[in-house]
Amino acid sequence: MVGIWSCSVILFFLCDRIPKLLLLSKQSGEFFLFHEPFIFTHLSSQTILILLILFFICVEFILFFQYTKKNSEYLYSPVFILLHALLAAGVLSNLYDRLLYGSVLDIFSVPHLVVFNLADIFILLGGFGILLYTLRNQ
């Protein structure tokens, strides 16, 4: 199951990275936005990065091990594995942007509403999916 999870994380990670790399290679600033952090703006980038990594690791361990030790079918459920892979890939891709560029690269925009990237979508889908999946299967 670890192999499926690892391959899924890599696949989702690349799904977010490839469009960003293509847009960056064209060097046209009108299609993307480097998004500065709006939460904890008084903290340095390194502090935010460390906090995000620690939070991500804690959430993943707590959710994954708490539910898999109670019911072994969680461990072997393809849905549960893919939801965790979505969450992990989204967080890792945004952390990668933060390390590489000092900010997150957002490439999609809903005018006057929100800017985002695929990693943001992966985080939302993975997080809410895990929550709904675990509530449904208790």
Q: Is 118 inside a domain boundary?
A: yes
29 assigned to some structural domain: no
Q: Is 81 part of any domain? A: yes
Helix (H, G, I), strand (E, B) or coil at 125: helix
pLDDT band at 3 (very low <50, low <70, confident <90, very high): confident
CB within 8 A of 71, min separation 6: which ones? 137
Domain that residue 85 falls in:
76-138
- Can you give the pLDDT at residue 61? 64
Nearest to 97 by CA among 12, 48, 34: 34
Total domains in the chain come to 1
Whole-model pTM: value is 0.72
Q: Residue 23's pLDDT is what?
A: 79
Residue 120 inside a domain? The answer is yes
Domain membership flag for residue 26: no
pLDDT above 70 as % of the chain: 65
Structural contact between residues 23 and 31, judged by C-beta atoms closer than 8 angstroms: yes
33 within some domain: no
Is there a domain that residue 102 lies in? yes
Give residue-wise pLDDT tens across range 34-75.
Answer: 655 544 444 555 666 666 777 776 676 666 666 656 666 666
**Alpha-helical segments (H) within the chain:** 2-26, 45-70, 72-76, 78-101, 118-136
